């Protein structure tokens, strides 16, 4: 497998054991997730991000594989949208939304999936498979179709119809599993009789690594903001964003790390709860219950890795109600043109909470990450309005 010059193999996030790029899956010794490592001295900081490649692959010097070998649809390079009216309502210096809904399949997951599928294509193993709350299944089908790999997505029955439909439209096989995300995850091994190549977050070492390019672009557009507010689901986005800013400091491009606020719903908040009690590990959330399906992950595969990442920054956790999250998403649509999904609404509602409680003030430059497009679940947003008599 051809790798970039700075790529320095894979390291276990648990025991620290090292592996080369041919290793796939979790650590053979302790079953913790693996993560890519890089030799920063091999990266020209002055030229970082200037590669002649589409989307986030222009940062190929800190990605594991060359852009020329990547299945890409120009994912990345998403806009950072100024929202003056929302900033005024919150009473902060500025509020900008990094709109990851503009990616090819409408989710930040496209960044990491393009990297993970590059590895799968090089391994030349079929089928590839994963469980998904929705977005990851659609993204996997799209990118595996690009390299002509047979793929399976196992999704819970409550997954949004738009995601289910697009898995098939992109050519992927889909199996709908009764219950919730945990049931879909359990069904992968139960129902697939053949060996398969996993594109599951934190089983493949590469999805969270692709997500770090969100931070590279944020820095290009806005420097280091005072605060980044982002929703937590599997831990993938949290690990990626923190990792990206750490990379910039290690390169000498940035001088500091932003404060990072992790947002989850009150009905399913395992990472937030663990962060609040300064725990060493994330515990499974009992009876998860939120209308925002992408965040209804009771036992996040990257939860412990996310906790480790958050210890490196000034971090705090916020939980919000489903109602406040959906109201925030609707407000963004009605005041800022943004079609924010429920998960992005969670982050926006968390920013309101932080401002109300004095954690954000009139001088703060705040960035909220919207991880997916609101048109993926328009029925949820519309039902919220109907509940208000609109």
Q: For residue range 196-235, what is the model confidence (pLDDT) as tens digits?
A: 999 999 999 999 999 999 999 999 999 999 999 999 999 9
CA 194 to chain centre: 29
Give the model's confidence band at 312: pLDDT under 50 very low, under 70 low, under 90 confident, else very high: confident
In a domain, 14, yes or no: no
Q: How far apart (Å, rounded) are the C-alpha atoms in residues 138 and 60?
A: 24
CA–CA separation, 6 and 257 (whole Å): 22
Residues 240 and 361 in one domain: yes
CA 123 to chain CA centroid, nearest Å: 24
Residue keyed to tokens 């989710």 = 107
| Helix (H) or strand (E) run with residue 320 in it | strand 315-320
- The reply to whether 224 falls in a domain is yes
Residue 236 has pLDDT above 80, yes or no: yes
Identify whether 158 is part of a domain.
yes
Domain presence at residue 335: yes
361 and 324 within one domain: yes
In a domain, 9, yes or no: no
Same domain, 193 and 239: no
Nearest to 209 by CA among 217, 220, 201: 201
* Nearest Cα residue to 230 out of 117, 310, 347: 347
Quick one: 381 and 235 in the same domain?
A: yes
- What's 204's DSSP letter? B
Residue whose token pair is 């930040």? 108
Of 161, 178, 198, at which residue does a domain stop?
Answer: 198
Q: Give 157-191 pLDDT, tens digit per residue.
A: 999 999 999 999 999 999 999 999 999 999 999 99
Q: In this predicted structure, what is the pLDDT of residue 71?
A: 97
Residue 296 in domain:
yes
The rounded mean pLDDT for the chain is 96
Domain count, the chain: 2
Q: How many beta carbons lie within 10 A of that of residue 68, not counting itself? A: 10
Of 178, 198, 218, at which residue does a domain stop? 198
Specify whether 158 is located in the same domain as 116: yes
Tens digit of pLDDT for each residue in 326-382?
999 999 999 999 999 999 999 999 999 999 999 999 999 999 999 999 999 999 999
Q: With 90 as the cut, is the pLDDT of residue 194 above it?
A: no
In a domain? residue 51: no
Q: What is the DSSP string of 45-97?
A: GGGTT--S-SGGGGGGGGSSS-GGG---S------EEE-HHHHHHHT-SEEEE
Same domain, 292 and 358: yes
* Same domain assignment for residues 251 and 383: yes
Which CATH number goes with the domain that contains 344? Answer: 3.40.50.1100
> Does residue 331 sit in the same domain as residue 266?
yes
Is residue 309 located within the same domain as residue 341?
A: yes
Same domain, 356 and 267: yes
Sole residue written with tokens 């993938």: 236
How far apart (Å, rounded) are the C-alpha atoms in residues 140 and 184?
Answer: 15
Q: What predicted TM-score, i.e. pTM, was given to this entire model? A: 0.97
Q: Which of 170, 198, 226 is the last residue of a domain?
A: 198
Mapping DSSP to helix (H, G, I), strand (E, B) and coil, where does residue 202 land? coil
State the average pLDDT over residues 47-73: 96
Range of the domain at 126: 109-198
Looking at the fold, whether 267 and 310 belong to one and the same domain comes out as yes
- Cα–Cα distance for residue pair 69/258, rounded to 1 Å: 33
151 and 296 assigned to the same domain:
no
């Amino acid at each position: 497998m051809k790798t970039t010059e700075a790529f320095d193999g894979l390291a276990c996030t648990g025991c620290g054991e090292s592996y080369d790029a041919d290793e796939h899956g979790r650590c053979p010794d302790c079953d913790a997730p693996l993560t890519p490592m890089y030799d920063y001295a091999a990266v020209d900081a002055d030229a970082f991000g200037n590669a002649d490649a589409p989307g986030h692959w222009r940062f190929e010097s800190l990605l594991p594989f060359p852009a020329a070998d990547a299945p890409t649809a120009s994912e990345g390079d998403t806009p950072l949208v100024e929202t003056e009216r929302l900033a005024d309502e919150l009473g902060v210096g500025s509020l900008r939304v990094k709109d990851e809904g503009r990616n090819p399949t409408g989710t930040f997951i496209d960044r990491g999936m393009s990297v993970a599928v590059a590895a799968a294509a090089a391994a030349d193993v079929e089928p590839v498979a994963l469980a998904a709350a929705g977005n990851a299944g659609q993204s996997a089908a799209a990118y595996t179709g690009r390299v002509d790999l047979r793929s399976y997505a196992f999704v819970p029955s409550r997954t949004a119809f738009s995601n289910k439909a697009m898995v098939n439209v992109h050519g992927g096989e889909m199996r709908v599993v009764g219950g919730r995300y945990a049931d879909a995850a359990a069904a992968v091994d139960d129902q697939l009789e053949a060996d398969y190549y996993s594109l599951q977050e934190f089983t493949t070492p590469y999805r969270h690594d692709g997500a770090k390019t969100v931070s590279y672009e944020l820095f290009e557009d806005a420097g280091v903001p005072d605060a980044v507010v982002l929703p937590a689901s599997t831990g993938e986005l949290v690990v990626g964003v923190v990792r990206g800013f750490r990379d910039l400091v290690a390169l000498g491009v940035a001088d500091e790390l932003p404060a990072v606020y992790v947002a989850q719903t009150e009905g399913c908040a395992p990472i937030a709860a663990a962060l609040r009690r300064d725990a060493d590990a994330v515990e499974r959330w009992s009876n998860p219950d939120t209308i925002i399906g992408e965040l209804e992950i009771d036992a996040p595969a990257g939860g412990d890795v996310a906790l480790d990442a958050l210890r490196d920054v000034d971090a705090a956790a916020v939980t919000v109600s489903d109602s406040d999250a959906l109201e925030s998403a609707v407000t963004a649509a009605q005041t800022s043109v943004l079609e924010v999904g429920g998960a992005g609404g969670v982050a926006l509602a968390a920013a309101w909470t932080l401002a109300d409680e004095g954690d954000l003030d009139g001088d703060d430059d705040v960035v909220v990450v919207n991880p997916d497009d609101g048109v993926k679940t328009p029925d949820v947003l519309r039902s919220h309005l109907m509940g208000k008599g609109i």
